[in-house]
Amino acid sequence: MTRQFRSSNLPLRFDDDVAAYPVSKNEWLILKTDMFVGSTDIPNGMKVWQAARKAVVATVSDFASKGIRPHVIMLSLGLPSNITRSTVHQLAIGFRKGAEEYGCKVIGGDTGTAKDLVFDIVGSGFARPSEIMRRRGAKPGDIIVATGMFGKTAAGLRILSSNRKTSFRRKYHTLLTSVLNPKARLKIGVLLGKSHAVTSSIDSSDGLAWSLHLLAQLNKVNIKIDHVPIPNDVYRFANETSLDPLDLALYGGEEYEIIASVKPNQCQLLEQKIRSLVRIGTVESGNGQVILSTDHSEKVVEAKGWDPFRNS
Amino acid sequence: MTRQFRSSNLPLRFDDDVAAYPVSKNEWLILKTDMFVGSTDIPNGMKVWQAARKAVVATVSDFASKGIRPHVIMLSLGLPSNITRSTVHQLAIGFRKGAEEYGCKVIGGDTGTAKDLVFDIVGSGFARPSEIMRRRGAKPGDIIVATGMFGKTAAGLRILSSNRKTSFRRKYHTLLTSVLNPKARLKIGVLLGKSHAVTSSIDSSDGLAWSLHLLAQLNKVNIKIDHVPIPNDVYRFANETSLDPLDLALYGGEEYEIIASVKPNQCQLLEQKIRSLVRIGTVESGNGQVILSTDHSEKVVEAKGWDPFRNS
């Protein structure tokens, strides 16, 4: 979206998850800025502190997917004029909680007046160029892995925006938790970066299908998915609500797993080190398609993304 | 405004103009984030690219007042859904122009949807701790200097928001230019930092009176002002519109001069190096007051700040 700015001579391209500036030969300053808007990014049923914490988690996840540890967080807040002191306090608690969970320090910020509640999270850290996992680099033959399962947040958001009873909510609390208290895969991301086995990487915050499409298109390859890991709770929820579990897994969003392509001869060793990695597919030569391979059929996965207004 | 966050163990306090994070003993990472909101921060008559450029200038000015050169700029944009491509293009032009004027590189950013046009500017650089001019450090006996004159932007904003004829606008074009095309005092700020003669420093973006009050209060001293430098155009404008030129100079805003306290025995040498410095007063022992000393009378300067809704 920021491609109107020139990106020549930048060590990381504008379309990657973070921006970089070389400090020395072996060290880059890494920056990421991410804006959250109350009217679009905070679903019904999410508390203000949870939204603030989640905004930090989303920024940490961008770092995690590059194998980089964020050190400091800055906050810029646009506050509606009718906001209460209590809400501002809750925001502060959420930001601090998110930062502390991932070992970041909140070092400053800015506040102003806006029509919407707006917060911009700025993350910063340092990285060795060789350990940064870029979006570009996947090659035919690489194996696609993910750091977890998919579909929980798409299900959880549907529960949040519904009028379901408390008993229903309690039954699917893991799905609700995935929305209200998401986690970024920072430790695993840093391990992946240090392994030098990863050829490209992205987080799944815009949805599994969308993220795979980005990887396929940026790398001018096809990605064939033969296993979409979906937790039992998502299957149960889908069954009870007559939804397709695969749709929930592919076209969800705000799910902060890392999706990475791994050199085929190093994948087994990596899986031994990181037990939670799941193989979901392979990279093939092609022109940017994502293909879902099930039993004896193959179908093209749509390049649909996560749309926060869609949860119905 | 961000005092709800803990500031223990931070090298620069939350109430300073920028935030810092120690990278090594002799180098700090400096970050600044500043949010601008279309409905409050863009006056009538200002073009979108000028607003974008000005947002960068405001961030550069914060760095300048600390004696620090910003290296990189990141942008986060919240765009109303009805925004045109042309407006986004104009924004990009303005950001780039501002960054290039001060030798900064735009390395990345983020865009999202918001009710308001919102942009958050993130500046980043590195500094030697010994060369950073903090808000705290002024001592009785120090001399207060400014990098320029005051009142132009208060007058210019009044012209912009009025229905004055073109001939009137042409007559006072320097006042309009001060609003539409402001400059940050980056070169002078860096020289001031390297001089080690400055004991405290702030920029005048919230108005001369407000900035002096902040310095007086943070340093638990009084500041006595005996000379408010006002350009001839402001006197002429004030005379023609029956306004008080001193009010325009004291209670304006978005005027990006640096106000600094200087060790008395080093002030003359500094003035020889930086010819544009103007002595405006002295630091005295006291409890945080700002006093205007004119001929044979003294009066307390109100702690009024710049209010963008006030220009009438």
Specify the residue for token string 């001399």.
B143
Residue from A210, A220, A198, A221 nearest A277 by CA: A198
Q: Is B124 on the interface with A (CB under 8 A)?
A: yes
d(CA A45, CA B264): 60
Instruction: Find, in chain A, the residue whose alpha carbon is nearest to that of B35.
Output: A76
Q: Is A26 on the interface with B (CB under 8 A)?
A: no
For residue A60 the two structure tokens come to 């940490």
Instruction: Find, in chain A, the residue whose alpha carbon is nearest to that of B8.
Output: A107
Length of chain B: 312
Specify the residue for token string 């979108």.
B48
In the structure, what pLDDT confidence band is assigned to residue A41 with cuts at 50, 70 and 90? Answer: confident
Q: Is the pLDDT of residue A121 over 70?
A: yes
d(CA B120, CA A257): 27
For residue B139, count CB atoms less than 10 angstroms from its CB and return exposed for 0-12, middle for 13-18, buried for 19 or more.
middle
CA distances from B167 to A69, B112, B173 (A): 58, 41, 10
CB-facing half-sphere around the CA of A281: CA atoms within 13 A: 28
Please identify among residues 77-116 of chain B the ones whose CB lies closer than 8 Å to any CB of chain A. 77-78, 88-89, 92, 95-96, 105-116
CA distances from A3 to A282, B5, B87, B101 (A): 29, 34, 15, 21
Beta carbons of B108 and A18 less than 8 Å apart: yes
Out of B4, B19, B89, the one facing A92 most closely (by C-beta) is: B4
pLDDT at B306: 60
- Which residues of chain A are within 8 Å of residue B87 when distances are taken between CB atoms? none
pTM of the model: 0.90
Q: What is the DSSP letter of A302?
A: P
- Which residues of chain B are within 8 Å of residue A88 when distances are taken between CB atoms? 4
Length of chain A: 312
Q: Helix or strand or coil: residue A36?
A: strand
| Shortest alpha-carbon distance between residue B92 and chain A (Å) | 7
Q: What is the tens place of the pLDDT at every residue in A263-295?
A: 999 999 999 999 999 999 999 999 999 999 988
pLDDT at B3: 31
Q: What is the tens place of the pLDDT at every residue in A198-243?
A: 999 999 999 999 999 999 999 999 999 999 999 999 999 999 999 9
Residue from A272, A232, A259, A269 nearest A147 by CA: A259
Q: Which amino acid is at B41?
A: D
pLDDT at A1: 31
Question: Which among A120, A121, A124 is the top mutation candidate for probing chain B, defined by the most B β-carbons within 10 Å of its own β-carbon?
Answer: A120
Q: For chain A, give the mean pLDDT.
A: 91
CA distances from B34 to A14, A74, A102, B179, B258 (A): 21, 10, 24, 18, 18
Instruction: Find, in chain B, the residue whose alpha carbon is nearest to that of A32.
Output: B109
Cα-based angle A176, A180, A186 (whole degrees, multiple of 5)? 115
Out of B35, B92, B116, the one facing A76 most closely (by C-beta) is: B35
Residue from A294, A274, A26 nearest A147 by CA: A274
Beta carbons of B5 and A92 less than 8 Å apart: yes
CB-facing half-sphere around the CA of B124: CA atoms within 13 A: 30
Instruction: Please list the pLDDT of chain B residue by residue as tens digits (312 residues).
Output: 333 334 456 778 878 889 999 988 899 999 999 999 887 778 888 999 999 999 999 999 999 999 999 999 999 999 998 999 999 999 999 999 999 999 999 998 888 888 889 989 999 999 999 999 999 999 999 999 999 999 999 999 999 988 888 999 999 999 999 999 999 999 999 999 999 999 999 999 999 999 999 999 999 999 999 999 999 999 999 999 999 999 999 999 899 999 999 999 999 999 999 999 999 999 999 999 999 998 889 999 988 876 544 433
Per-residue pLDDT, averaged over A49-54, amounts to 96
Q: Say if CB A135 and CB A17 are below 8 A apart.
A: yes
Residue pairs spanning A and B at CB distance below 8 A: 187
Instruction: Find, in chain A, the residue whose alpha carbon is nearest to that of B14.
Output: A108
Q: Is the pLDDT of residue A126 over 70?
A: yes
For residue B82, count CB atoms less than 10 angstroms from its CB and return exposed for 0-12, middle for 13-18, buried for 19 or more.
exposed
Beta carbons of A33 and B72 less than 8 Å apart: no
Q: Is the pLDDT of residue A169 over 80?
A: yes
CA A183, A187, A188, A192 torsion-angle sign? positive
Beta carbons of A96 and B5 less than 8 Å apart: yes
- Which residues of chain A are within 8 Å of residue B126 when distances are taken between CB atoms? 23
CA distances from A154 to A47, A150, A179 (A): 18, 9, 8
Q: Helix or strand or coil: residue A183?
A: coil
Q: Which amino acid is at A178?
A: S
Out of B18, B115, B126, the one facing A39 most closely (by C-beta) is: B115
pLDDT at B116: 85
Q: Which amino acid is at A196?
A: H
Q: Is A126 on the interface with B (CB under 8 A)?
A: yes
* CB-based contacts of B163, cutoff 8 Å, min separation 6: none
pLDDT at B8: 54
- Which residues of chain B are within 8 Å of residue A5 when distances are taken between CB atoms? 75, 92, 95-96, 106, 109
In three-state form (DSSP H/G/I as H, E/B as E, the rest C), the secondary structure along chain B is CCCCCCCCCCCCCCCCCCEEEEEECCEEEEEEEEEEEHHHHCCCCCCHHHHHHHHHHHHHHHHHHCCCCEEEEEEEEEECCCCCHHHHHHHHHHHHHHHHHCCCEEEEEEEEECCCCEEEEEEEEEECHHHCCCCCCCCCCCEEEECCCCCHHHHHHHHHCCCCCHHHHHHCHHHHHHHHCCCCCHHHHHHHHHHCCEEEEEECCCCHHHHHHHHHHHCCEEEEECCCCCCHHHHHHHHHHCCCHHHHHHCCCCCCCEEEEECHHHHHHHHHHCCCCEEEEEEEECCCCEEEEECCEEEECCCCCCCCCCCC
Beta carbons of B39 and A108 less than 8 Å apart: no
Out of B75, B107, B112, the one facing A37 most closely (by C-beta) is: B112
